[in-house]
Amino acid sequence: MKIEWVNHASFVVDTRTGDSSTPNPIRLICDPWIDGTAFNNGWRHISPTKFTYQDFSNITHIWFSHEHPDHFSPPNLQKIPEEYRKRITVLFHFTKDKRVVEVCKTLGFTTQELPEGQWVPVGNAKIICGRNGQIDSWMGIESAGQKLLNMNDCVYDRISEITHIREIFGQPDVLFTQFSYANWVGNRGDSATQHQAAQDKRNEMRKQAQVFQTKQIVPFASFVWFSHQENFYMNKGVNRISNIYKFCADELHVPPVVLYPGDQWEAGTPHDSSAALQKYESELNAILEHPNLDKSAPIPDEKLQDLAKACFAKLQKENNRLLLALLPAATVFLTDKDQTAVVSCTSLQLSAGRNGKVDIEMGSDSLAYCFRFGWGGDTLQVNGRYQVPPGGNARKFFRIFRVPGLNTANEHLDTLFVAKKIASLTFKSTEENAKTQSA
């Protein structure tokens, strides 16, 4: 398999062999985020993408791991020429809501939903994928005796879960895995939390390397920087790719491969990563020394109230109203307007100044985004454009906005959901107690 590096979490897998008569070869691109910002102007690429929208002319398949905009970017997909879209098949894991496949169908792509944990023939290759959490997934591909495993952003708490993937996929020749944190990791000045988050990601890589026993490892899905004036501070503690390269080689004892946009590499062969490492380090240093930061304009009160009313009406329609009422309100300080907002599932109250105990601080643009989109709360947790003041409780805020997130995935806050949640927590507690007793 030949790999063509696109950017961040995106690369092309080409299953053509040296023989031009290879039957049914595929050129599959994973998670194409080509340009622009992601997560409500929270992220940008470190390095410019060389792969162009015209280059989709010879792409046969697109695989999306999940709906996060650095992986599934509808604005980017719309820029692919229509004639190319008609010739491309989108592969995505089975979901109840069908949202991703419906968007892709509307854009003219052919779509194919992948069953969980089952091998599916695709051209001269076969593909398998599995779910992780509510929206994420991993993908494995095998062709001409080579196996490539794309773990993407998947994080597993238990070794047994990673072992299960090894059991159904086998030993990968090449493992692609995320190498740095990609979410809020503490307030400004909280270097200890950033350090721990970076260490946690290295520990996750270590677990995967130990279980999969991969022959080569490609660190990826982290070639971004926090680009907004509200989250720029989080760049300080990220895992630098040069350090991760040494970590893989010296501590994991797995040969690492680092690829720069436009690089091509025959999987399984030795690769000199020195040029890519130098470019990434140089470009990230230039960004950090002279950042061109994204900014957001304050949202007028009337607009905030209109967005809130529309959000609340939808919540009332799709969920149990009694359960909604049981969720406590959150107090938000809007930093760009010097206002206090009290938010619940039914109302938004705005007042001047900072009033009383505050659970979370953010710009009004972030609050508006949470009202506007079902995935707004998830986006805010990823882009990290907020602060938690002393004594604050950010969970109160995110608990409210988890409900519209559930609704976008065709789930609802009702008695059945609560019963399933209680059953899941009970099972997890029983399992942990059994492990403790056996130990």
pLDDT tens per residue across span 101-121: 999 999 999 999 999 999 999
Encode pLDDT of 170-221 as tens digits: 999 999 999 999 999 999 999 999 999 999 999 999 999 999 999 999 999 9
In a domain? residue 423: no
In a domain? residue 438: no
Phi-psi region of 303 (alpha: psi -120 to 50; beta: other; left: phi over 0): alpha
In a domain? residue 57: yes
Residues 103 and 187 reside in one and the same domain: yes
CATH number of the domain that 99 lies in?
Answer: 3.60.15.10
Task: Determine which helix (DSSP H) or strand (DSSP E) holds 112, and give its type and residue range.
Answer: strand 110-114
Radius of gyration, alpha carbons of the chain: 22
Residues 13 and 100 reside in one and the same domain: yes
CATH number of the domain that 356 lies in?
Answer: 3.30.1050
Residues 146 and 178 reside in one and the same domain: yes
Give me the mean pLDDT over the 91-98 stretch.
92
Q: What is the pTM of this model?
A: 0.92
Residues 272 and 406 reside in one and the same domain: no
Checking if the pLDDT of 51 tops 80, the result is yes
Among 124-128, 202-206, 239-243, 405-409, which is the least confidently predicted range?
Answer: 405-409
Give the pLDDT confidence score for residue 288 in this predicted structure. 97
Average pLDDT, the chain: 94
Checking if the pLDDT of 433 tops 70, the result is no
The closest of 13, 48, 46 to 286, measured between CA atoms, is 46
Give the pLDDT confidence score for residue 352 in this predicted structure. 97
Confidence of residue 438 (pLDDT cuts 50, 70, 90): low
Residues 52 and 142 reside in one and the same domain: yes
In a domain? residue 242: yes
Give the pLDDT confidence score for residue 420 in this predicted structure. 77
Checking if the pLDDT of 58 tops 70, the result is yes
Which of 339-348's residues contact partners 24+ apart within 8 Å by CB, and which partners?
Answer: 339/364, 341/304, 341/367, 343/308, 343/367, 343/397, 343/400, 344/400, 345/312, 345/315, 345/400, 345/403, 346/312, 346/315, 346/316, 347/308, 347/312, 348/304, 348/305, 348/308
Distance CA 89, CA 56 (A): 12
- What domain count does the chain have? 2
Give me the mean pLDDT over the 37-66 stretch.
97
pLDDT above 70 as % of the chain: 95
In a domain? residue 394: yes
Cα angle 240-241-245, degrees, rounded to a multiple of 5: 125
Encode pLDDT of 154-178 as tens digits: 999 899 999 999 999 999 999 999 9
Residues 409 and 315 reside in one and the same domain: yes
Give me the mean pLDDT over the 351-370 stretch.
97
Give me the mean pLDDT over the 336-352 stretch.
97
Encode pLDDT of 274-289 as tens digits: 999 999 999 999 999 9
Which residues, in sequence order, are bridge partners of residue 138?
Answer: 130
DSSP letter for each residue of 153-195:
T---SSHHHHHHHHHHH---SEEEEE-S--S---STT-HHHHH
Give the pLDDT confidence score for residue 85 in this predicted structure. 98
In a domain? residue 164: yes
Give the pLDDT confidence score for residue 425 in this predicted structure. 66
Residues 162 and 201 reside in one and the same domain: yes
Domain that holds residue 323: 301-413
Checking if the pLDDT of 325 tops 80, the result is yes
Give me the mean pLDDT over the 354-359 stretch.
94
Residues 257 and 384 reside in one and the same domain: no
